[in-house]
Amino acid sequence: MAVGSCSVHINESKKELIPHGSLAFPCAGYQEPYSMDGKREFPWHWHEEMEMIYAKSGVLTVQIPGKSFQLKKGDFFVANSNILHYIVTASEGELQSLVFHPMLVAGDQESVFAVRYILPLTQNTCFDGCYLEGEKYPEEIGAFCQAFAALAAEAPGYEFAVREHLSRICLFLCEHYRESMAEAGTHERAGNSQDNLRVQAMLRYIHQHYQESVTLSEIAGAAALSERECLRCFRRTLQMSPMQYVLRYKVMQGAEFLCGNPNRSIADAAASCGFDSPSHFSKMFRRYYNCTPREYRRRETAQKGERVSCEKSMNNVEERRNTDGSISESGKCGLCIHSERVVC
């Protein structure tokens, strides 16, 4: 399927490991419903692809180094290639995203589209992320929605439609950053700023050693910084202290353990992510997820069952397609939006 549910799998430097789309068509769409039972987080990560994020309903927050943006229903955000970003939900709602390699729009690196537009855009340090308020940018957000719908439907020739609409958005970004793009050659490449590289080094150390008793001195040493500069660097980029990040990362790893190991105990989950006791783990877990570890596991297991049921229903949709390509009423899935090929 061209559109799936959101998940982030990263290596020790926070680079996302899963390819988006294929070599022939490097674009993938993701759709994620979220509830008020507990916030949903997509941890700090980066990838070579650009990412477009749309708040279809509800409220969510997107963070990039040094900046935070709250997206309400209808708002839109574009994260540049190789830029660290983090997403957290704040209420019941739904997000949609398109992740695509810039060369999908540019074509060959020697093309006029690459040389004059896409490469200067992605290498522009002034463009780390672009927030568009829904009411002020209906054309650009409409282009995203059309690209997403085309990717979801996968009708014959949908690749042309997706690239066309993504190109319109990229052209808007080029015009929006025209002045700074003209000076791109005098700046360091986007994603290679000193703070960005330092944070990547320190995050890499944390992710290698989070199960141990990590100290501020050790984290600072990973980027050859003093403890004071380490604190400042984290505050500038991630808006939190290094030890706050360590604690949050431990809890998030514990949450993954709970869902991936349904038969293991809470004590096992606590030990797996470096907590010295189940009670301390449960206390910190409640602070971040507003529920106990057991409640979280129960809810996530139920939601996973709903997604599996939805996937099966969408497979039935394919089997019930009419000869004219339409879908019979008996083949539609009530959990999905209209009749799009979307994994809920």
Residues whose CB falls within 8 Å of the CB of residue 276, separated by 6 or more in sequence, listed in order:
none
Nearest to 94 by CA among 336, 339, 341, 340: 336
Q: What is the pLDDT of residue 2?
A: 56
Indicate left, alpha or beta for 325 from its phi (over 0: left) and psi (-120 to 50: alpha).
Answer: left
Q: What is the pLDDT of residue 8?
A: 53
How far is 130 from 46, CA to CA, in rounded Å?
Answer: 16
DSSP-derived 3-state class of residue 100: strand
Q: What is the pLDDT of residue 136?
A: 96
How far is 336 from 327, CA to CA, in rounded Å?
Answer: 13
Q: What is the pLDDT of residue 224?
A: 96
Are 206 and 214 within 8 A, CB to CB?
yes
Q: What is the pLDDT of residue 327?
A: 42
Fold of 3-186: Jelly Rolls (2.60.120)
- Measured in degrees and rounded to the nearest 5, phi and psi for residue 266 equal -65, -35
pLDDT along the chain (344 residues), means of 10: 51 50 88 73 88 95 92 97 89 91 93 95 92 96 97 96 98 92 56 79 93 96 97 91 94 93 95 95 92 91 66 53 44 31 28
Q: What is the pLDDT of residue 330?
A: 35
How far is 213 from 297, CA to CA, in rounded Å?
Answer: 26
Which pTM was predicted?
0.70
Fold of 248-322: Arc Repressor Mutant, subunit A (1.10.10)
Q: What is the pLDDT of residue 81?
A: 92
- Measured in degrees and rounded to the nearest 5, phi and psi for residue 10 equal -125, 160
What is the DSSP-derived secondary structure letter of residue 80?
Answer: P
DSSP-derived 3-state class of residue 78: strand
